Amino acid sequence: MEQILEQISLFVTSFIAVYSVYLILTVSLNIQRGFAGIPQFGLVFPAAGAAYIIGNLSTRIALWVLGIKTNLDPIYESSGVIALINPVLSSQPLLSIALFILCLVIGAVIGAVLGIIQVAPAIRLRIDYLAITLLAFGEIMNVIARAYRPLIGGEYGVQVPSVFGWAGKNTIVATTVAMLIVALIIYAYAEYLGRTPMGRTMKAIRDNEVAAAALGKSLVKYRAIAIVIGSAFCGISGVLWAFFNGSVMPGQFVRFNWTFLPWLMILLGGLGNNKGALVGATTFVALDRFITYYKHEFVGILPFDVIWLYQILLGAITALILIYRPQGVLPERPYIPKDVRERVKSSIASSS
């Protein structure tokens, strides 16, 4: 019985952690592609960049905040430095949470800056050229992380402090709950953004650039705003993943997982619609975790090796979406502000 409960707990925490990260990524993509029409094929760039820089800085910040003096190198001897930091953090939960929030803020700022760097050379170009530029940027950060060892120690990576170690045996549970709270806050903000004049202007530019420009709307300005907000969210997702794993390594951030899968989720749920992003992320992550944990139960049942089950299902889902639901499970619906709806109703009532 205890073993079964342990397996259930492992499945649930794994689901929440992966779900939180992908919910943030799909919301980020929805703001950039769904709202502003930007073909963002480089989500991995700000996410990995923020994670790598936090991996470099988090132990240094913790040493400075806790007043720990050591001759150990935070990058090349991170295990020794973490052994000094974690026991102190486990006895100071408020300080640990403050360090966690500070790292999230720094990660958001880094993500936003990297997003601007990513699009600056091509933001005035046509959408197709912009897409190629963003795609090319995707792998740059991983190349830098592997080649420039002072960043995170090259292929070996670097450990990050355990900011939820004060929860004891519930450390993983506390970490995943914090990740879910952050993801839901970001989702709530994206919902709010879609109803604001700024969000509606982004959608107007997406639908008809010429008409929006004729009305005096700056395409560059609103594209840049969408990139900054979306990239900041990507940076937060990278930092959350680093704290969940307790380390940062180049192999954690690949374009397939951190760019193409969010595209699949948002196509599944529906572009331009945050609820669609929510549905797409929920459906995909549930399927992903189920296959990851239980695929070996199908050995002998399926006519092929179960290690290919994941890829086959991904291909089948993509094909079915494109054939039967090209607009997603929850297609975007036009949003009409409350005051406009009331004016229309009063106008109809007075005319009748």
Q: What confidence tens digit (pLDDT) does each residue in 123-170 have?
A: 666 666 777 777 777 678 888 888 899 999 888 889 999 999 999 888
Residues 6+ apart with CB under 8 A from 283: 265, 268, 269, 329
- Please tell me the least confidently modeled range out of 282-296, 304-318, 336-350: 336-350
- Please tell me the least confidently modeled range out of 29-33, 72-76, 284-288, 292-296: 292-296
**83-110 pLDDT tens trace:** 999 999 999 999 999 999 999 999 999 9
Question: Partners of 159 in the beta sheet?
Answer: 247
Is the pLDDT assigned to residue 181 strictly greater than 70?
yes
- Given this model, what pLDDT does residue 331 score? 78
Is the pLDDT assigned to residue 335 strictly greater than 90?
no
> How much is the average pLDDT of 272-293?
86
> 124 and 186 in contact (C-beta within 8 Å)?
no
> How much is the average pLDDT of 164-178?
92
Distance of CA 11 to CAs 17, 72, 229, Å? 10, 37, 31
- Given this model, what pLDDT does residue 163 score? 93
